[in-house]
Chains A and B, each alone.
Chain A
Amino acid sequence: MRVTNSMLVNSFLSDMKTNLSNMKSIQSQITSGKEINKPSDDPFKVARSMQLNSAINANKQYNQNIKDTGNYLDVTDTALNQSENVLQRVRELLIAAGNGTYETEEKLAIKNEISQKIAELSQDINTNFDGSYVFGGSRGTTKPLNEDCSYYIAAGTTDAAELNKIKAKLSTEISPGVEINYNVSASDIMEFTNENGDSINLKNLLSQIVNHLDGKSDDGAIADANAGASLGGKDLQGITDSINNILKIRSQVGANQNRMESAQFKNEDENYNLTDILSSIEDIDITQKIMEYSTMQTVYTASLQTSAKVIQPSLLDFLR
């Protein structure tokens, strides 16, 4: 086949173009650290990488949700613990007051302390975390209880509607499609049924106790000689039931806390796995790439050197 000078030059130019474009693509892979930069580099890998990125990001959000829920549950548990302690003290006082030997002054002292304990209970149930009242249900920016442990209903609102808000359940998503209710409402503590099926209202019970300590009837209207006996009887039983109720609620909260811990563990594990897969798809093996680059560079330099020697001389150099 007849070969001309321009054929040599053209073939050199086209191979040079190939070499340089190979070097360019390896260089961009090394500098970005990723195998794929545009969808056309490898459409299948890009699709996979986008999918994994979305999953990892969603996972991060769920992680945040789990943490926030865990914090909320911790605060709830602390408040329940403090409420339980308050009721335990009231129980001790009742046991002492049920002792028939106590005189009026002692009973007055106990009554004062119990009044304070009622205020303390309402303070515990009005615990505020991160701007919202923990036991307020969906009525988050308004305190659930008054100082006397009755529900706080603002002027101009209806009791039934406000009570619904306090009883509302809040939920959050901790993994795709999985929601949990994480709040305890004030009404769970204040109104409940005991193991015999009787419904008990803690606020009424407490005001009943204060009335009995005054020697009056349940509603404080008339004097009642049997008030003292009730203190050690049904009042004590009511407080004991209330304490059991709080324990029951605490055990549910505890179970939820455990659930959050294991959900977090699972979430972080999943995150680790997804990131691992993403890295195996997207990231380059630095050692291999650098070796490829050196090889490419050697080829490039060799082609330059050889071509320089070939395309230069011609017959004219040798004619005299």
Chain B
Amino acid sequence: MAGLFSTFNIATRGMAVQQKAIDVSSHNIANANTEGFSRQRVTIETTRPFEGLSMSLGTGSQVTEINRVRDSFMDYQIRNEMSTEGLYTTRDSFLSQVESIFNEPSDTGISSLMGKFYDAFQELSKQPQSSNARTVAAEQSQALADALNHTYNQLMSLKGNAQQSIQSSIIDINSNITQIDDLNKQIMSASITGSSPNDLMDKRDLLIDKLSSKFNIIVDKGKFNGVDIRPGDGTQINNTYLVRSSDTDDVRRLSYIDSIEKVSGTDGTYDASDEYKIVYYRFGDRTNPENRQEISVNGIDSKGKFDEIESTRVLVSDSNGYAVNKKDESKTLSGNCSYDDLTVFNPSNGEVKGNISIKNDVDDYINEINKLAKTLAFAVNSIHSGMTSASGSTDAATPGKDYMPFFVNSSTASFDGNNKMTNLDDILSAEPEINAGNISVNKEIIYDVMNIKTRTNDYKYKYEKDNTEDGNKDGERALSIAKLRDSLIRLQDMGTTINSRADLFDPDKGGSFLTDNMSIGSNANGVSMDSYFKDTIDKLGIQEQQAKRMVKNQDSLLSSLKESKESVSGVSIDEEVANIVQYQHAYQANAKVISVIDELLDVVVNGLIK
């Protein structure tokens, strides 16, 4: 008979169901502040009714499912926006460091040092006979050169930092992907049995969110609650899956290129036959020497191709970390290969892209101060010596080469114990390689300031002391150097079409003129050094302002998306407590039913037969 004992069962089941519901609510409350947690709800359904006696009799309730409440479209939106946020946050943090390096507007930046340089030469032009004025001019020039050196060095080390960031990102990304893969497998094996591993899925979603801020990803749902993750773009191979729900081992990982060295071929040119030695570390992990892999690459026939490898620094590799061959994805790279076999990873969004784009931008800034340094060196040296070419002047009035160059390339120049130049010819041929990192004032001038050529006819003589034509109060040459403040020169072409002092005065290249062996006339298509530097600062300001603005926008966009997600998946303590009260009453009621049944049973068992 479906008698008292079945009612017993109904009550027992009821209590168990309420208890489970309280368990789930208490789990929610315990995880109210857990990051990435989505609240879980029980689905309570009636058990199969007992069909008989021409009526359907209910048999109680059961918990059929414990689900997590989560909107996966919201997840997709949030991940997209997190990639953009990652990109601009990285850019913002590096660009504000570049701003501090330049330190403009201020009294101590390059702009005001340049003003002081011109002022010092103005004073020198009025008092060229005085060693005080000469010392000030030499020291002020050295201060300007030092500031350029310092800025260059700091920008280079910032570039190195950006590169370092890429490497630590790669290690993070790889470990992240491995964890996601593990969770994916656990989730799939749990789901096959029919249960819904909510907590594991929450963990996996959290890790995927973190991954999305590194680069843009596409997440597809697979069977048994598995996911397939691949990068949104950035590679040109077919199988780019990082995590898969089937064929779980046929996935990709990322490896980091540590160094690119040219082994054969001339420096500065790019030819398809040049050999480069590329060293990469599997998974970016440099702690284990077995991870170091070397390949030899040719076919890099343009600067663009070299820059792509140099700035992205990441290769897509197979699941063991060996770089994949782009032409035949089942093979890995080894030994000799060509540029077309390399699979560089160049995403369009995320922190990785942020680091890559920062390196490119810092390279641009380094280029601009290099142009400034070159222009300063070429212009001042040509006025100082009165010659348009450092060592091959055809002007018969001049000594043919510049015996006392004002600015020299400090990486080539060497001086003996008496601070005299020992390799003048090398110094002159190294003049085209002057850049912001190696520009410096000739030590012979610093230690003997009377070597500065300030007079009208100094261009005819090797050294200042040889000139007996001009009196020592003649400061015309110094005045010409001071007047560079307003000279317009084609700075824009420095380093591209203008590569040496002679190029500056070539009518097809620099288009400047050295009048009377003393002063540089303005080229109407040129700019002054001051305003070129200002343009660089302008560009920096606008880029950083844009990065800051984007970070702010993304922040507010993300916080409104996250609020929507919270609204759906977040735990409301009040709600859970109210639910617990509800389940508590139901539990108590069920328990009461049991005690009633107990009394009834007592009547039946003990009371019916005396």
Alpha-carbon gap, A2 to B104, bound state (A): 50
Number of A-B pairs whose CB atoms are under 8 Å?
176
A5 at interface by CB-CB < 8 Å: yes
Min CB–CB distance A162 → chain B (angstroms): 8
Q: List 29 A-B contacts (CB under 8 A).
A: A2-B567, A4-B573, A5-B574, A6-B566, A6-B571, A11-B559, A14-B559, A39-B102, A39-B541, A43-B542, A46-B538, A46-B541, A50-B105, A50-B534, A53-B112, A54-B115, A61-B122, A131-B130, A137-B473, A140-B473, A141-B129, A141-B473, A161-B468, A165-B469, A165-B474, A166-B471, A168-B474, A171-B476, A314-B574
Partner of A40, one of B95, B125, B556: B95
Binding site for A on B (CB under 8 A): 32-33, 95-96, 99, 102, 104-105, 111-112, 115, 118-119, 122-123, 125-127, 129-130, 455-456, 468-476, 479, 482-483, 485-486, 530-531, 534, 537-538, 540-542, 544-545, 548, 555-556, 559, 562-563, 566-568, 570-575, 577-578, 581
Contacting pair A38 B99 (CB below 8 A): yes
Alpha-carbon gap, A57 to B577, bound state (A): 72
Residue of B nearest to A158 (CB): B468
Given the known inter-chain contacts A57-B119, A131-B130, please indicate yes or no for A49 contacting B105, CB distance below 8 A. Answer: yes
Residue of A nearest to B535 (CB): A47
Contacting pair B475 A6 (CB below 8 A): no
Contacting pair B572 A319 (CB below 8 A): no
Min CB–CB distance B547 → chain A (angstroms): 8
A46-B105, A131-B130, A319-B581 given; name 5 further pairs at CB < 8 Å: A2-B572, A5-B573, A39-B105, A139-B471, A139-B473
A170 at interface by CB-CB < 8 Å: yes
Give the chain B neighbours of A10 by CB distance below 8 A: 559, 562-563, 566
Give the chain B neighbours of A164 by CB distance below 8 A: 469
Binding site for B on A (CB under 8 A): 1-7, 10-11, 14, 36, 38-43, 46-47, 49-51, 53-54, 57-58, 60-61, 64-65, 68, 131-132, 136-142, 157, 161, 164-166, 168, 170-173, 176-177, 179, 314-316, 319
- Interface of B: prevailing SS: helix
Give the chain A neighbours of B471 by CB distance below 8 A: 136-140, 142, 165-166, 168
Min CB–CB distance A247 → chain B (angstroms): 26
Residue of A nearest to B570 (CB): A4
Give the chain B neighbours of A64 by CB distance below 8 A: 122-123
Contacting pair B566 A4 (CB below 8 A): yes
The residue in B123, B126, B470, B562 that gathers the most chain A C-beta atoms within 10 A of its C-beta is B126
Given the known inter-chain contacts A40-B96, A50-B111, please indicate yes or no for A5 contacting B32, CB distance below 8 A. Answer: yes
Contacting pair B33 A6 (CB below 8 A): yes
Contacting pair A131 B129 (CB below 8 A): yes
Given the known inter-chain contacts A141-B472, A171-B476, please indicate yes or no for A50 contacting B537, CB distance below 8 A. Answer: yes
Give the chain A neighbours of B571 by CB distance below 8 A: 4-6
Alpha-carbon gap, A38 to B470, bound state (A): 48
Given the known inter-chain contacts A6-B33, A177-B486, please indicate yes or no for A51 contacting B534, CB distance below 8 A. Answer: yes
Contacting pair A315 B577 (CB below 8 A): yes
Sorted nearest first, the 5 A-B pairs with minimum C-beta distance are A39-B541, A138-B471, A140-B473, A43-B541, A139-B471
Alpha-carbon gap, A64 to B119, bound state (A): 10
Min CB–CB distance B489 → chain A (angstroms): 16
Contacting pair A138 B105 (CB below 8 A): no
The residue in A39, A42, A57, A319 that gathers the most chain B C-beta atoms within 10 A of its C-beta is A39
Give the chain A neighbours of B483 by CB distance below 8 A: 173, 177
Contacting pair B479 A319 (CB below 8 A): no
Contacting pair A5 B572 (CB below 8 A): yes
Residue of A nearest to B528 (CB): A54
Partner of B544, one of A36, A40, A51: A40
Partner of A39, one of B473, B537, B568, B574: B537
Given the known inter-chain contacts A46-B541, A161-B468, please indicate yes or no for A54 contacting B530, CB distance below 8 A. Answer: yes
Alpha-carbon gap, A155 to B566, bound state (A): 98
Contacting pair B570 A172 (CB below 8 A): no
Give the chain B neighbours of A57 by CB distance below 8 A: 112, 115, 119
Give the chain A neighbours of B96 by CB distance below 8 A: 38, 40
Contacting pair A138 B470 (CB below 8 A): yes
The residue in B112, B471, B568 that gathers the most chain A C-beta atoms within 10 A of its C-beta is B471
Given the known inter-chain contacts A6-B33, A139-B471, A316-B573, please indicate yes or no for A1 contacting B567, CB distance below 8 A. Answer: yes
Alpha-carbon gap, A57 to B123, bound state (A): 14
Alpha-carbon gap, A319 to B573, bound state (A): 13
Alpha-carbon gap, A105 to B570, bound state (A): 126
Residue of B nearest to A167 (CB): B471
Partner of B475, one of A14, A53, A170: A170
Give the chain B neighbours of A68 by CB distance below 8 A: 126
Alpha-carbon gap, A170 to B483, bound state (A): 16
Alpha-carbon gap, A228 to B405, bound state (A): 64
Residue of A nearest to B473 (CB): A140
Partner of A132, one of B125, B455, B473, B541: B473
Min CB–CB distance A282 → chain B (angstroms): 8
Give the chain A neighbours of B548 by CB distance below 8 A: 40
Alpha-carbon gap, A27 to B555, bound state (A): 23
Give the chain B neighbours of A3 by CB distance below 8 A: 567, 572
Partner of A173, one of B473, B482, B573: B482
Min CB–CB distance B420 → chain A (angstroms): 26
Alpha-carbon gap, A38 to B548, bound state (A): 12
Give the chain B neighbours of A170 by CB distance below 8 A: 473-475
Given the known inter-chain contacts A138-B455, A315-B578, please indicate yes or no for A172 contacting B537, CB distance below 8 A. Answer: no
Alpha-carbon gap, A199 to B72, bound state (A): 105
Give the chain A neighbours of B119 by CB distance below 8 A: 57, 60-61
Contacting pair A7 B541 (CB below 8 A): no
Given the known inter-chain contacts A50-B537, A61-B119, A65-B122, please indicate yes or no for A6 contacting B574, CB distance below 8 A. Answer: no
Partner of B538, one of A4, A39, A131, A316: A39
Contacting pair A6 B32 (CB below 8 A): yes
